[in-house]
Structure 1
Amino acid sequence: MDPMTLFPRGYVASRVLGMEVEVAIGLHPWERHPERPNRLRVDAEMFVPADALGGAIVDYDGVRNLVRGWRGRPHVEVLETLAEELLAECFRDGRVAAARVAITKTQIFPEASGAGIEVFRPRR
């Protein structure tokens, strides 16, 4: 979905792109070894209507801190679990009207540069 369809008068996107973190995650048997976590690339974007910004920044430190905190956590089955956590953090700022998160396993298959998910969600 193009954010301009939600924000015809414009928007500001606050982004943190290309974060990397190692996380014990996955359903495959070879992903269940805590000594070999998966390397993830994480992107997060928070969209605020231009007229709602009010001159204040949208702070992305919370997003960065959440992702950094994933290292060393107990095994997670699916990327969607992490995506939901990330979306909740994005929406902590009440001005954020929509968010997009993408999480990619960068070393999961030898024939691919990555496999993962992307979620775009307007505030409910």
Structure 2
Amino acid sequence: MKDLFSGEDHIVVALDDVCVNVSCGLHPWERHPERPTRLMISVRLYAPLATPRAADAPIIDYDTVRKRIRALESEGHIDLVESVADRIVESCFTDERVIACALSIRKPDIYNETRGAGIDLFRTRARWSAGQ
């Protein structure tokens, strides 16, 4: 991360625990469209802060990412939360100033003994662009 940020100031735009109901999972009980899986998705967008004050920085619109997350509910079954993350990452980089993003996806209802199961993912624009 040191090389990514090179000592520069950054603004981190956050969306916390966006709740959506998505047909997602490999288990047979997760494959019923009438009983979607609840996902809690959090996103961080990292952009260089070129001004001395955050209040003077251009606005990074997180609504694009929120809309993308909500659209997952109508996209049919998705086997893996990793695939869910890939779909969201693209929307994170629609603003050219965003140089990295971090996602957390949790299934809060999958196991009784845990608050949630899922993944965390950190992506840089450079690496994401190279994979397209």
TM-score (norm 1): 0.91
**1:62 Cα offset (Å):** 0.5
**1:5 Cα offset (Å):** 5.4
Q: Is the 8 A contact 2:49 2:57 kept in 1?
A: no
How high is the sequence identity, in percent, across the aligned residues? 39
Aligned length: 122
The aligned residue for residue 40 of structure 1 is 39
The aligned residue for residue 4 of structure 2 is 6
Q: For 1:90, which of 81, 92, 111 is the aligned residue?
A: 92
Question: For the aligned residues, what is the CA RMSD?
Answer: 1.8
SS of the residue 1:51 aligns to: coil
The aligned residue for residue 116 of structure 1 is 118
Tell me whether 16-25 or 63-72 shows the greater mean CA deviation. 63-72
TM-score (norm 2): 0.85
**1:113 Cα offset (Å):** 1.1
CA distance in 2 between partners of 1:59 and 1:26 (Å)? 30
- The unaligned stretches of length 5 or more in structure 2 are 127-132
Q: Is the 8 A contact 2:45 2:102 kept in 1?
A: yes
CA distance in 2 between partners of 1:65 and 1:123 (Å)? 20
